[in-house]
Structure 1
Amino acid sequence: MALHCSIMASARQIRPRMLNVDLIAVVVAALLPWSTSGVSIGMVVWLAALAATLELRPFLRSLQRPISALPIALVALAVAGTLWSDASWGARLYALSPATKLLVLPFLFYHFERSTRGMWVFVGFLVSCALLTVMSWLVAIDPSLSLKAPGEAGGHGIFVKNYIAQSQEFVLCTVVLAFPIFTLLRDGKIRQALLLTAVAASFILNMAFVIVSRTALVTLPIMLVVFAMAHLRWRTNVLLFIAAVVLGALAWTLSPQLQATTDKFSREYRIYKEFNEPTSIGLRLEFWEKSLRFFAEAPVIGHGTGSTRRLFEAAATGPAALAQGAVIGNPHNQTLNVAVQWGAVGVVILYAMWFSHFSMFRRAGLAAWIGLMVVLQNVFSSLFNSHLFDFHEGWMYVLGVGVAGGMVLRARSEAAESSRA
């Protein structure tokens, strides 16, 4: 509480300069669905602008909170891991880079605990994703509109980036919108609720009839179940479950794209087992099995930062065209990615960080709901990818948790002040 009072006192003195910091954050969030370099440059500009408003003593005190200390600890472990790695220094530094974005979290917590404009950031991201659905439909109709080079990996209906990143954005927007839609319906604001429902439906229709990742197909139902359990009565949940099954079956029947995506699960597994071909599912099984062996060889502190590719090269058997011969620097699982490089120590810090952020959002309110969904999406999607360290999904986590976390910390402290008044 004393920390929050100190932070708020400094905020009142520098409020005019804080607006610039907020607006830059909105721009970064709006750029995230479209540009990698734009986000990188934008975050550097944001940190520079924040420096002009930062009060050193309150900020340093805020670093003692687990929500800030644990991301720092994970990055510190990655830095220390360069010392016992056998990889080249280029590989060590390359593997260290994806983790460093977590260092921005404490700055986001600190700033948006002072600011009242955190919701602007999320509105900017939502509007940007809504515009991306329009471009996705246009590209699906006319592929020449895509900014992807011909034959470049991305997917049907992809204007920029790739179908996995796009699906992650659309899933998050869809589930987050469930909260305000429910709130507006409960308050009798039907027109506003229908408007947000139409926006959410645009994301769902795009995923059903244009393109969707298999990770999104798994995480979307889980996140919707969490919403239903948290906010709806059991009778409503039963009716919604029946409706979801019917609509899901109808969408699958009408959408060749959705059928092809779901059919890939069994077809790719069968091809991998029978012909040893490097299908997506087959490669993941190979990566996970070998990563578990690597972890068993160095279970406490791992093999060191950047060691993953060298380990896969040593374990490859047969030609690279076969699944057993595939070499990669990322095992497509966040836990295994950490375990191979930094052992059980890294896994404990990773899960402690996820849990501390999850616990922060176990309260009422839209900001808490946004933060909770960001954490859950990252945790579940990281079963199939290393999304915390991937550029796009990693920044979704950092911005989502950082901004929502600051808003929740501010609301919590204001509520405590009101109860004592």
Structure 2
Amino acid sequence: MTALARETTGQMLLRRLRSPAAWSETVDVFAVLTAASLPWSTSLAGIFNALMLLCMLPFLDVRAFLQFLKRPICLAPIALVLLALVGTLWSDAPWSARFHAINPTIKLLVLPVLLYHFERSPRGRWIFVAFLVSCALLSVMSWLVAFYPNLALKTDPPERGIFVKNYIDQSQEFALCAVALAYPIVMLLREKRYWFAGLLTALALSFFVNMTFVVVSRTALVTVPIMFGVFALLHLKGRSIALISAGLLAVAVLAWQSSPYLRHTAERFSDDYTRYVEKGEPTSLGLRLEFWRKSLGFFAQAPIIGHGTGSTRGLFERVATPSGLYQASAEVIGNPHNQTLNVAVQWGAVGIVVLYAIWILHLLLFRGEGLDNWIGLLVVVQNIFTSLFNSHLFDFHEGWMYVIGVGVAGGMVLRAQQPEAKMGEAGS
């Protein structure tokens, strides 16, 4: 009996290894693990992502995949990676710096793979739920670290309410989750499913409360109102916009009055600017202004194809003032903290065209109604506006949020557009 059971188990395992559906489900599981681990660990996210890609290989329809890559939504990110590779040829940076500068673009090659897979998989929502639950747990951990700093794994340098990573990454996650929940909340209210709507509202508010009283980035402070504005324009009517805007304004005033941390974070804008202008101090805002001013000059020197891949740090080194003066102009960096300028310095107007083509094509992909379109659109909008202050498409954490968000949501949107998918929905 044991031998028979062993044989049966072996046959089941062999049958599963030969099943394309089983491999597809395994890919989905690793995609879930990638999304769930992203807020906590870059290493785990990288491992699960590699396993996800590996599991796609045994039954990949190469001809169909290559045909799929011809779509503009796939060609644009691939073009930016190719431009980074070709850009090494006219760069005067050391080859180590050139290859290092290619790395941030490589993740964009995963985007077409996710679009292709989730056009065929019905389990895309798993990934979004996993990311939401993971961020909710991180929010709880953030509160614990705020009261018990010794619990933090990140200690160099320590940041208030940060268990792992940094306050910019955490704010990006919480802001995305909180605003993304606005759509299902409104839909549930229209269906009079008040309990579920209340649960999601409480979850969204928990993210905002954390950002109000524990830690928030100034980038999130600027971009969250924009994200809500996009939602209001797309999904609300005039009266609803007025009522919700009044409610949000009241909540914002209450948060402002009750949170000294929030007031301090916002007031640092003017303080940083004043110290930079009057004393040349390397404040956060002052450094960005300095980086942007110099980057525009570098772009003017090579406006068509830029200075080449990995050239940014060398350019800043040449124009830096003596470090002994300890001024903003003495800072040297390889990232100007603006996605457009980061691309413009290295690959000129050609790079800007490719970058904006990525954003525009992905915005157009999510023109329809439904939760999948809303999540995908929000991911793109957040990346565009936060990239005014950072190079978030190239940063590890925010870049992977973009790749996973657009890849999964985009695949689901493409799947919904298929005639057989619409017939299936009508039949159910």
TM-score band, normalised by shorter chain: over 0.9
Whether the 8 Å contact between 2:280 and 2:327 is mirrored in structure 1 is yes
Distance 2:55 2:21 in 1: 13
Give the % identical residues. 60
Runs of 4+ in 1 over 6 A off after TM superposition: none
Match of 2:303 in 1: 299
Whether the 8 Å contact between 1:29 and 1:121 is mirrored in structure 2 is yes
Q: Does 1:39 align with 2:69?
A: no
Whether the 8 Å contact between 1:334 and 1:388 is mirrored in structure 2 is yes
* Structure whose alpha-carbon radius of gyration is higher: 2
Q: Which amino acid aligns with 2:161?
A: G
Q: Does 1:137 align with 2:143?
A: yes
Match of 2:198 in 1: 194
Deviation, 1:418, is 3.9
- Secondary structure of 1:167's counterpart equals helix
Which residue among 97, 120, 139 is the counterpart of 2:103? 97
Which residue among 118, 122, 145 is the counterpart of 1:112? 118
Deviation, 1:243, is 1.7
Whether the 8 Å contact between 2:415 and 2:421 is mirrored in structure 1 is no
Which residue among 166, 170, 193 is the counterpart of 1:162? 166
CA offset digits 1:126-147 (Å, max 9, x no partner) = 0000000000000000101000
Which residue among 251, 257, 261 is the counterpart of 1:257? 261
Q: Does 1:355 align with 2:360?
A: yes
Q: Which amino acid aligns with 1:401?
A: V
Q: Does 1:341 align with 2:383?
A: no
Which residue among 369, 381, 387 is the counterpart of 2:374? 369
Q: Does 1:24 align with 2:15?
A: no
Distance 1:300 1:291 in 2: 14
* Runs of at least 5 residues in structure 2 that lack an aligned partner in the other structure: 1-18
Q: Does 1:209 align with 2:213?
A: yes
Distance 1:331 1:135, change over 3 A: same
TM-score where L is the length of structure 1? 0.95
Deviation, 1:154, is 5.4
Whether the 8 Å contact between 1:154 and 1:161 is mirrored in structure 2 is no
Which residue among 245, 250, 253 is the counterpart of 2:249? 245
Which residue among 63, 67, 74 is the counterpart of 1:61? 67
Distance 2:381 2:322 in 1: 38
Match of 1:8 in 2: none
Task: Supply the RMSD in Å over aligned alpha carbons.
Answer: 1.6
Deviation, 1:14, is 1.8
Match of 1:231 in 2: 235
The farther-off stretch of 355-364 and 408-417 is 408-417
TM-score where L is the length of structure 2? 0.93
Match of 2:319 in 1: 315
How many residue pairs get aligned? The number is: 408
CA offset digits 1:314-360 (Å, max 9, x no partner) = 01123262101110000000000000000000000000111000100
The farther-off stretch of 406-415 and 57-66 is 406-415
- Secondary structure of 1:364's counterpart equals coil
CA offset digits 1:134-173 (Å, max 9, x no partner) = 0000000010100012xx2352100000000000000000
Distance 1:303 1:44 in 2: 32
- Secondary structure of 1:82's counterpart equals helix
Match of 1:7 in 2: none
Distance 2:282 2:217 in 1: 18
Distance 1:348 1:231 in 2: 30
Distance 1:415 1:315, change over 3 A: farther
Whether the 8 Å contact between 2:145 and 2:152 is mirrored in structure 1 is yes
Deviation, 1:85, is 0.4
Match of 2:407 in 1: 402
Match of 2:79 in 1: 73
